[in-house]
Amino acid sequence: MSADAYSYISRFIDLKKDEKEMLLKHLQIMTCAPKQILTRAGEMEQHVYFIQKGIIRKYFYRNKEEITTQISMEGNLVSSSVSFLSGVPSDFVLETMEPATLGFITRSSLESLYASSANFERMGRLIILEWLLYKEKQDIERMIQTPKERFQMLMEERPSLINRVPQKYLASLLNIEPETFSRYKKQLMEEKDKIV
């Protein structure tokens, strides 16, 4: 198991030696090219991905427009979670944005882990709770914060995304127009120049 994946899981539970070995048997590694589709809309999600390297975008289609709902980078888990947890077809597409290395576990492997140890069941509950809290936080931000506040928060929390992700996807994630995103970005650069 990669140190990164173990570090993520250690936020939720302490694994005993035999549990680490069991997890290692179920965790698989894959490398991906940019723009590789991991999950398509209409498919059943069978995997949870741990991002060791790279960025994954999660989006859905509204008519023909792609609406970005999540951009995840190193150290995060990503999945079409409703599909994975409930067995319904995914409404979302998961796609890599740059060369990526992913650890992943299948739904059947996760069920085996749950059956083997109460510790793994606890891990699953805590990770699902984190997903729910993240989703609610995201919904609140979209409803309450102004577009500029959403932009500023992204720049404070994940500034590296601005150099790694095309602007149109960041604008979609923040639910703002690309032109508005450009204006905020220009203002931010001007403010930085004044400080220097």
CB 173 within 8 A of CB 68: yes
Q: Who has greater pLDDT, 93 or 139?
A: 93
Six token digits for residue 52: 């060791």
Average pLDDT (74-79) is 91
Alpha helices, DSSP H only, in the chain?
3-9, 17-26, 81-86, 107-116, 118-144, 147-157, 161-164, 167-174, 178-195
DSSP state of 43: S
- The pLDDT, as a whole number, for residue 151 is 94
> What pLDDT score was predicted for residue 183?
94
pLDDT at position 131: 86
Q: Is the pLDDT of residue 172 over 60?
A: yes
Span 36-62, mean pLDDT? 96
pLDDT for 188 equals: 83
Average confidence (pLDDT) over 128-154: 88
Could you give the CA distance from residue 30 to residue 56 in angstroms, rounded to a whole number? Answer: 14
CA atoms of 113 and 56, how far apart (whole Å): 25
Model confidence at 189: pLDDT above 90: no
Q: Give me the percent of the chain exceeding a pLDDT of 90.
A: 67
pLDDT score recorded for residue 193: 67
Which residue carries 């590694």 as its tokens?
29
More confident call, 38 vs 185: 38
- What share of the chain has pLDDT > 70, as a percent? 95
pLDDT reported for residue 3: 54
